[in-house]
């Protein structure tokens, strides 16, 4: 089943920006032929999905736009790659699911993108019962969901509490989600829009632990809810700073429903669609072009970049930075802010078959179709947080898995599909960067082994028995720590949101009515995950930065 998406349509002809022919010619010339005095309306630093979205909007509005990406490929973290040599499997290597991408952006950019729904929301083996039973949330079979809640708790009251909580969260989601691509409201305005003071207090003002404690008496059910607050975020459920609440909010408001969808063709299909939209509108997209310096002036910004051989420069009326705020500080030569800390272990695997479960009532094809929660009761999550805070790899290591190929086999080659092979993505929680600072490789291996052991504890067989091997005999498994993410993607501290997430409203009076992308320099805007209302694969910061740049009329030429 796929989410309703607009069919690709032919775009009407659009006015070209002055100098667009020059830009197309530059794209065909070697870097050494670039004129250091070349000028664009906008330069986008970084060709991740948000930078591509911003450039598509700007080019469609007639602005000349140059995207500079340091890596050999576009897409940033939203890419698909054949990770294992000789194995025809296109994996979403870093990011993997979509929830926060507004349908309006898909329509406006006419993106040929399909997002598949997963029949099963989640399955959680109960470690208290030796994983011989589990909590199944089947979105198409309410009777199966009810039977599962009754088997875990002995009554149907927990399901009623679950449904009531998610109805309330749904009302918040329907109010808040559309505002993500509008100018910022004040806190009071957004609270009024939500129209539910009790829900506002529970989600925006008090630690999430309090809501869960008074809603659920069962720690397994509470843990399933809590896990959405801890993806990539190192915090306890009772953290007074409410980082967990902000993370939770962004994980449950997507599309006004909180549903997580699967990009058909893999995450690279999202970036490919955006790159096509940008190019078709006239944007110039350059890879292997690393920006090394930004110099803002009163009416423009000078952008210096290198191709690895020589340094080049262009001038832009606006610069949109599709990189972490810390990267912007570096490019400006400013003193760096405190380094954020990512908290996750991302494991990609290719399996010969799905592993057998200890629970005889649920087939692996059903359990792994949604989010498969492992050792994530609320008590286990708190204990894992405390262990990691002491610089210990959590034991058991809480994690969650999903199998992309069950819902979208197109990412596998014909031979792998016919053999019954599947992908498996595992995301480990409470694996902060601090765990890997000393002796990184050994700590990565320890974290990998702890996570696989945690997964094995709820299976009827070791996961290693199912892992495929490459033609050279190497196991098809890779792991990324926060420090690996920092190295590969320039995300400081490996923080997948570039910073701790912010509230989706203006926290100062002077922010009301802005787009949440502004910086201290009026001609430099943040268009990546570190913007207010950033994080996740959403295109929201990209669109918002484009709207902020377009709000200033282009001077006559």
DSSP codes joined into one string, 188-218: HHHHHHH--HHHHIIIIIS-HHHHHHHH-S-
Return d(Cα 31, Cα 26) in angstroms, integer. Answer: 8
Mean pLDDT, the chain, whole residue set: 92
Question: Tell me: the pLDDT tens digits for 500-509?
Answer: 999 999 999 9
Nearest to 482 by CA among 352, 306, 381, 345: 345
Rounded mean pLDDT, 153-181: 96
pLDDT at 481 > cutoff 80: yes
Question: Tell me: the pLDDT tens digits for 210-238?
Answer: 999 999 999 999 999 999 999 999 999 99
Distances (CA, A) of 498 to 3, 325, 524: 29, 7, 17
Q: Which residues pair with 312 in a beta bridge?
A: 305
Rounded mean pLDDT, 126-147: 95
Rounded mean pLDDT, 149-157: 92
pLDDT for residue 200: 98
CB–CB of 537/339 below 8 Å? Answer: no
pLDDT for residue 348: 98
Nearest to 320 by CA among 545, 119, 37, 107: 545
pLDDT for residue 555: 61
pLDDT for residue 13: 33
Q: Which CATH class is domain 20-79+101-113+265-339+498-550?
A: alpha beta
Rounded mean pLDDT, 174-198: 98
Both tokens assigned to 517: 């992308």
CB–CB of 234/384 below 8 Å? Answer: no
pLDDT at 557 > cutoff 90: no
CB–CB of 138/144 below 8 Å? Answer: yes
pLDDT for residue 38: 87
Distances (CA, A) of 390 to 100, 312, 340, 445, 448: 34, 47, 18, 19, 18
Angle (nearest 5°) at CA 391 between 387 and 397: 45
Sequence spans of domains, the chain: 20-79+101-113+265-339+498-550, 119-155+341-494, 159-256
Return d(Cα 203, Cα 322) in angstroms, integer. Answer: 29
SS3 (DSSP) at 304: strand
Angle (nearest 5°) at CA 247 between 91 and 456: 50
Provide the pLDDT confidence category of residue 7 given band limits of 50, 70 and 90.
very low
DSSP state letter for 287: S
- Using CB atoms within 10 Å of the CB of residue 86, give its burial: 0 to 12 exposed, 13 to 18 middle, 19+ buried: exposed
pLDDT at 336 > cutoff 90: no
The contacts of residue 440 (CB under 8 Å, 6+ apart) are 481, 483
Which bin fits 440, alpha (ψ -120 to 50), beta or left (φ > 0)? alpha
**198-204: long-range contacts at Cβ-Cβ below 8 A with a sequence spacing of 24 or more?**
198/168, 199/168, 199/169, 199/171, 199/172, 200/172, 203/169, 203/172, 203/245, 203/248, 203/249, 204/242, 204/245, 204/249, 204/503
The contacts of residue 374 (CB under 8 Å, 6+ apart) are 125, 396, 398, 399, 400, 401, 454, 455, 457, 458
CB–CB of 552/113 below 8 Å? Answer: no
pLDDT at 167 > cutoff 70: yes
Angle (nearest 5°) at CA 346 between 340 and 347: 160
Nearest to 400 by CA among 369, 364, 376: 376
pTM: 0.91
The contacts of residue 385 (CB under 8 Å, 6+ apart) are 234, 235, 236, 430
Return d(Cα 426, Cα 459) in angstroms, integer. Answer: 14
- The dihedral over CA atoms of 15, 20, 24, 27, expressed in degrees to the nearest 10, equals -130
Question: Tell me: the pLDDT tens digits for 267-304?
Answer: 999 999 999 999 999 999 999 999 999 999 999 999 99
Rounded mean pLDDT, 72-88: 96
Nearest to 101 by CA among 490, 557, 543: 543
pLDDT at 3 > cutoff 90: no
Return d(Cα 181, Cα 539) in angstroms, integer. Answer: 10
Rounded mean pLDDT, 319-347: 96
Beta strands in 59-189 (DSSP E): 65-68, 80-82, 90-92, 115-116, 120-125, 134-138
Question: Tell me: the pLDDT tens digits for 19-75?
Answer: 322 233 333 333 333 344 489 999 999 999 999 999 999 999 999 999 999 999 999
Instruction: Determine phi and psi for 430, rounding to 5 degrees.
Output: 50, 50
Both tokens assigned to 300: 């423009």
Return d(Cα 251, Cα 230) in angstroms, integer. Answer: 10
pLDDT for residue 372: 98
Return d(Cα 431, Cα 125) in angstroms, integer. Answer: 21
Selection from 12-16, 149-153, 430-434 with the highest mean pLDDT: 430-434
Helix axes 208-215, 157-176, angle to 10 degrees: 150
**Residues of the chain above pLDDT 70, percent:** 93
Return d(Cα 223, Cα 388) in angstroms, integer. Answer: 18
Alpha-carbon Rg for the chain, nearest whole angstrom, is 23
CB–CB of 165/528 below 8 Å? Answer: no
Nearest to 423 by CA among 92, 178, 30, 94: 92
């Amino acid at each position: 089943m796929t989410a309703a998406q607009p069919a690709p349509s032919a775009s009407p002809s659009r006015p070209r920006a002055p100098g667009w022919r020059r830009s197309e010619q530059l794209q065909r010339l070697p870097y050494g032929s670039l004129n250091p005095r070349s000028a664009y309306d906008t330069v986008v630093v970084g060709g991740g999905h948000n930078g591509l979205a911003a450039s598509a909007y700007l080019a469609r509005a007639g602005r000349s736009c140059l995207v500079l990406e340091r890596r050999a490929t576009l897409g940033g973290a939203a890419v698909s790659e054949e990770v294992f040599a000789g194995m025809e499997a296109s994996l979403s290597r870093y990011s993997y699911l979509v929830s926060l991408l507004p349908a309006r952006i898909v329509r406006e950019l006419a993106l040929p993108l399909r997002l598949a729904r997963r029949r099963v929301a989640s399955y959680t083996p109960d470690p208290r019962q030796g994983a011989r039973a589990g909590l199944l949330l089947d979105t198409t079979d309410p009777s199966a969901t009810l039977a599962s809640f009754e088997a875990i708790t002995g009554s149907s009251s927990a399901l009623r509490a679950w449904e009531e909580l998610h109805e309330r969260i749904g009302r918040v989601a329907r109010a808040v989600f559309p505002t993500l691509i509008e100018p910022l409201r004040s806190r009071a305005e957004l609270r009024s829009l939500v129209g539910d003071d009790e829900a506002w207090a529970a989600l925006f003002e008090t630690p999430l632990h309090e809501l869960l404690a008074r809603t659920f008496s069962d720690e397994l059910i509470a843990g399933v809810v809590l896990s959405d607050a801890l993806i990539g975020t190192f915090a306890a459920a009772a953290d007074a700073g409410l980082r967990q609440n902000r993370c939770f909010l962004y994980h449950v408001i997507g599309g006004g429903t909180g549903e997580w969808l699967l990009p058909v063709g893999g995450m690279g299909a999202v970036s490919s669609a955006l790159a096509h939209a940008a190019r078709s509108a006239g944007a110039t997209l350059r890879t292997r072009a690393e920006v090394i310096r930004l110099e803002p002036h009163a009416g423009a910004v000078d952008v210096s970049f290198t191709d690895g051989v020589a340094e080049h420069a262009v001038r832009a009326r606006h610069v949109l930075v599709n990189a972490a705020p810390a990267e912007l500080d570096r490019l400006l030569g400013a003193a760096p802010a405190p380094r954020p800390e990512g908290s996750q272990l991302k494991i990609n695997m290719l399996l010969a078959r799905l592993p057998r479960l200890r629970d005889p009532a649920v087939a692996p094809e059903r359990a792994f179709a949604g989010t498969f929660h492992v050792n994530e009761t609320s008590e286990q999550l708190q204990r894992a947080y405390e262990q990691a805070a002491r610089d210990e790899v959590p034991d058991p290591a809480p994690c969650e898995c999903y199998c992309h190929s069950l819902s979208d086999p197109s990412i596998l080659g014909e031979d792998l599909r016919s053999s019954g092979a599947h992908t498996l993505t595992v995301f480990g929680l409470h694996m902060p960067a601090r765990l890997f600072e000393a002796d990184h490789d050994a700590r990565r291996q320890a974290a990998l082994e702890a996570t696989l052991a945690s997964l094995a504890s709820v299976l009827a067989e070791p996961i290693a028995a199912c892992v495929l091997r490459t033609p050279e005999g190497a196991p098809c498994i890779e792991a990324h720590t926060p420090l690996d993410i920092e190295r590969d993607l320039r995300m400081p501290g490996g923080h997948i949101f570039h910073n701790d997430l912010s509230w989706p409203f203006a926290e100062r009076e002077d922010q009301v009515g802005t787009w949440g992308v502004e910086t201290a320099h009026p001609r430099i805007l943040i268009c990546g995950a570190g913007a207010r209302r950033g994080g996740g694969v959403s295109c929201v910061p990209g669109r918002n930065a484009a709207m902020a740049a377009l709000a200033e009329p282009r001077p006559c030429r």
